[in-house]
Amino acid sequence: MMKITLHGAVFFAYHGFYPEEQKLGNCFIVDIEVEFAHKGNINEDELANTVNYEKLYEIADEQMKHTRKLIETVAQEIMDDIKNEYPDLQTIQVAIKKMNPPLGHKVEYAGVTLNYNKA
């Protein structure tokens, strides 16, 4: 098994349940981890034998552009897109942190993590 990770991808987006969150926006951090039985010979030094983390970033970037009320929904859309792009993945983990959520007091972040395990 091989694991590819993309950690700390920072986006400014307009996700939030409350209208003011969708108007003002916020900083979000996305982490993605995928595992798979690698194809071919890694010694061939070919991108086709692995998962392109640039593509993982592009998937996250595209979904972060679509305003949603829940970061759970955003995480699920990212996961669905990854599954469509790489159907042979054994596991996928998508975590999204909403920095400084508007809770009335100092909170570093609120977050959600979704996991997929191919049975």
Residue tagged active-site, from 83, 98, 106, 118: 98
> If phi over 0 gives left and psi between -120 and 50 gives alpha, with beta otherwise, what is residue 50?
beta
Instruction: Please confirm, yes or no, whether 97 is among the known catalytic residues.
Output: no
Largest CA distance in the chain: 54
Helix axes 53-64, 71-85, angle to 10 degrees: 140
At 56, which amino acid appears? L
User: What CA–CA distance (Å, rounded) separates 79 from 93?
Assistant: 8
User: What CA–CA distance (Å, rounded) separates 45 from 106?
Assistant: 46
Active site residues: 98
